[in-house]
Amino acid sequence: MGSGKSTAGKKLASLMGWTFTDLDKSIEEFTGKSIPEIFEQNGEKFFRKIESELLRNIKAHTNTVISTGGGAPCYDDNMNFMLETGLTIYLNLTPLQLRSRLAGSNDDRPLIKGLGPEELLSYIEKKLSEREEVYSRSEMIVDGFDLDINELINRIKLKQNDQD
C-alpha cells in the first residue's frame, strides 16, 4: 500500500506499449462498490476471495502489467500463481517512506482509516514484517522510492531475453 504500484504500472505499460490492469479497480467494477465499501459491508475475507478470483480470471496475456493490492500476493496462494504466470516485481520502500506517501490518504484506505502518524508507522512496520517473506519471492526487487522506469524496462527486457 502506497508503494506506487498503480502509478508505476501505468507508466511501465504505456512506455512499453502494453495493456495495464489495476486489480483493485477490477474488483470495484465487478462488485459495483468501492474498496472501502466492500471492507465495510462485506469484510476483508470477502474482499480477498473476490481479489483472488479476479486475479485468476484476468486475461494475463503477454505484454500486460497487472497492479495488485499490497495484500494480494499473501493470500490464497496468489504469489505462487503470479510466479507461474508472469514476471513479479516488488516495489520496495522503507516504512518511513510509505508513511510519508500514505499520510493524508487514510480515509481512502480501509486498513489504515483513522490511524495517526505513529499508529500508521507501526501498522506499516507490522504489515511489512508479515509480508516480507512473500514479497521477497518476487523475481525482481526494485527501489520504489526513486524508481527509474527506463531502468526497470531494461531489466524486464534482459529478463525476457534470458528466458528466450
Give the 3-state secondary structure of residue 35: helix
Separation of alpha carbons 154 and 103, rounded Å: 32
Cα dihedral sign for 125, 130, 131, 136? positive
With pLDDT > 70 as the criterion, what percentage of the chain qualifies? Answer: 96
> pLDDT digit string (tens) for 99-110?
998 887 766 777
Separation of alpha carbons 113 and 66, rounded Å: 25
Q: Residue 90 forms beta bridges with which residues?
A: 141
> pLDDT digit string (tens) for 53-100?
999 988 666 788 999 988 999 998 999 999 999 899 999 999 999 999
> In the predicted model, what is the mean pLDDT of residues 105-133?
87
pLDDT at 109: 78
Domain boundary assignment for the chain: 5-159
Class of domain 5-159: alpha beta
Q: What is the mean pLDDT of the chain?
A: 90
DSSP characters for 90-155?
A: EEE--HHHHHHHHTT-GGG-GGGTT--HHHHHHHHHHHHHHHHHHHTTSSEEEESSS--HHHHHHH
Which residues touch 121 (CB under 8 Å, ≥6 apart)?
95, 96, 99
> In the predicted model, what is the mean pLDDT of residues 118-136?
94
> pLDDT digit string (tens) for 5-33?
999 999 999 999 999 999 999 999 999 99
pLDDT at 104: 74
With pLDDT > 90 as the criterion, what percentage of the chain qualifies? Answer: 71
Give the range among 2-11, 51-60, 119-128 with minimum mean pLDDT: 51-60
Write out the three cell numbers for 155. 531489466
The residue whose grid cell reads 528466458 is: 163
Report the number of secondary-structure helices (H) and strands (E) in the chain: 7, 4
pTM, two decimals, is: 0.88
Separation of alpha carbons 164 and 94, rounded Å: 34
